[in-house]
Structure 1
Amino acid sequence: MHCKIIGAPVEEGTDLAGCALGPRALRAAGLGPALQALGHLVEDMGDIAAGPAPTILHPNEAIRHLPAIAAWTAAIGEAAFSISGSGFPIFLGGDHSISAGTLAGISRRAVELGRPLFVLWLDAHPDFHTLDSTESGNLHGVPLAYASGLPGFSGYFPPLEAPLDPTRVCTLGIRSVDPAEQAALVQAGVITCDMSAVDRHGIAALVERFLERVRRENGLLHVSLDVDFLDPAIAPAVGTTVPGGATFREAHLAMELLHESNLVSSLDIVELNPMLDDQGRTASLMVDLVASLLGRRILGRATQAA
């Protein structure tokens, strides 16, 4: 596989500095060599740079850094569309606001290819706020709502050429949802699997059920992997820690199932904050998870749960 690595060093979507260092930390943790060791062709395309920030104001005074995020979204969207024409794009965040751009660009590509785009959103949060509903004002909480075409972004974010069908989105590992987001998720028809569902049914059953639908509809699958999908005990390097996340084995099993499906066509890795890490262990874990998704095997077979 031709893996195209591209960084999006964005931290304006959150209120804590450090995510801009995420792409560098993932590279330093050996992402490229890990994928090369699996036999993949790896092309590091450097980092995206945002254009000039527009002059825009929003009536919601809580919103932070709207002009900067609008500029980043436009630049990332164009880059995502461009590099998704061939190969396997891997977008290194940066906070989760980068997915406003990655999803916009990948969705345009899916329309061009005539195939439906599905999204597996691995995160403690659904990031389904609009500019009107966000109370924190942190714009890493809006990308999935924007990409799904929810109202309120026109005139502030770049025009969305190919909105996602929210019924083809599965949020998995959710355990922190605001009331406005919960109502919007239900109305939009997003598939929501919280950690209670993981506890009750097991992560394998939930992932396989979603993959079966992707396969049945001949879809493309974008995976957006947020560090806070994981329990903070194993992945402390994130500014939005929420207890009770996926365990080491649950996360690896999800990646192994995704690899075996041969359906994943693009990937985000987001919210790694190296300033909060413990000797790089979160960065190393994220590299290991990506390696599992892209085929790392033990004893000649895919790794299996103990």
Structure 2
Amino acid sequence: MKKRISIVGVPMDLGQSRRGVDMGPSAMRYADVVERLEKLGYEIHDTGDIEINRIDKEEIQNLKFLKAVTDGNDRLSQAVDKVIESGAFPLVLGGDHSIAIGTLAGVSKHYKNLGVIWYDAHGDLNTAETSPSGNIHGMPLAVSLGIGHHTLTNIAGYSPKVKPENIVMIGIRSLDEGEKELIRQKGIKVYTMHEIDRLGMATVIEETVEYLKSRTDGVHLSLDMDGLDPTDAPGVGTPVLGGISYRESHLAMEILAESEIITSAEFVEVNPILDERNKTAIAAVSLMGSLLGEKLL
């Protein structure tokens, strides 16, 4: 793991329908993310927040706030690109999960075969045609595969950002019909809650590491806090019961830290308006600690 980390905040709440997630980066900073990572020996550079345009509601072909989401992700891709160019580890704080479009656009250009761990309750593989809501936070993985509206898929000037065989989805328990079909069609590797319950988190992550190590030259972790059970992470916009536990998530991060395969990460969907005493942001920062090498002894 690189000893320099650059934090990029993205106060985006236009990719979904519940306000408040734009305060996620501030909530994680309030939960002492900088201080916690500095204690691990990292040199931290907090670059501040990406500017997000506030505009009137618009919908184009069942894509809500398309222009604003595109513009914000374009700025994010440039910021992440600069972080990697500087030799630092990019740590992106969201914001709704639509920001993964920009993160992956900025990261993937630096790798020939970028791997992605999608730690989430949802597939985020919808398109304008399959989405029940038109919310772009349900589309970033499809967009990164080159599937979707051209203004989103072509952010940073290239597409796709990731290959389907280089993706591992973990914690999935809510999929729309179009997403199920796309997973089958593309052969994406998925560990639903059934596999986590049956195999155990240690086996799931060890298999994930082994799978990605053999085919990728870098791995991005995209962690949506709704991947955790709502009892452990109540401050999310789209909670789904029966999720990954707080302790299982720490184990996952600890094994990933030991594997040394993670080259960039983002933590998204922290909504302090829906939270209990900043519980979800505190959990997110604690998981960042484990991912970046924090141990009890």
Aligned partner of 2:80 in structure 1 is 80
Q: Kindly provide the amino acid, as one letter, of the partner of residue 272 in structure 1.
A: V
Rounded Cα–Cα distance in structure 1 between residues aligned with 2:59 and 2:137: 18
Partner of 2:16: 14
RMSD between superposed Cα atoms in Å: 1.8
Secondary structure of the structure 1 residue equivalent to 2:102 = helix
Residue 149 of structure 1: which of 142, 146, 149 is its match? 146
Report the CA distance between 1:68 and its aligned residue.
1.1
Letter in 1 for 2:90: P
1:50-70 CA-partner distances (Å, limit 9, x unpaired)? 4798xx96333xx32111111
The TM-score normalised by the length of structure 1 is 0.91
* Residue 42 of structure 1, aligned match among 27, 41, 44: 44
TM-score, normalised to structure 2, is 0.93
- Measured in 2, the distance between the counterparts of 1:235 and 1:101 equals 24
Structure 1: how far apart are the matches of 2:212 and 2:218?
Answer: 7
Among 257, 266, 271, the residue aligned to 1:259: 257
SS of the residue 1:92 aligns to: strand
| SS in structure 1 of the partner of residue 19 of structure 2 | coil
User: Which position in structure 2 is the counterpart of 1:184?
Assistant: 182
Q: CA deviation at 1:249?
A: 1.4
Contact residue 223 and residue 266 of structure 1 kept, 8 A: yes
CA pair 132-119 structure 1, distance change in 2 beyond 3 A? same
List gaps (5 residues or longer) in structure 1: 300-306
Greater Cα offset, 216-225 or 283-292: 216-225
**Match in the other structure for 2:106:** 105
Amino acid at match of 1:29: A
- How far 1:186 moved relative to its partner? 1.2
Percent same amino acid at aligned positions?
A: 39
Residues matched between the structures, number: 291
Tell me which stretches of 4 or more aligned residues in structure 1 moved more than 6 Å.
Answer: none
Q: CA distance change for structure 1 residues 136 and 79 in 2, over 3 Å: closer, same or farther?
A: same
Moved more, 211-220 or 256-265: 211-220
1:131 and 2:132 correspond: no
Contact 2:143 2:152 in 1 (8 A): no
Partners of 1:57 and 1:278 in 2: CA distance? 32
Could you say if the C-alpha distance between residues 215 and 158 of structure 1 is closer, same or farther in structure 2, counting changes exceeding 3 Å?
A: closer
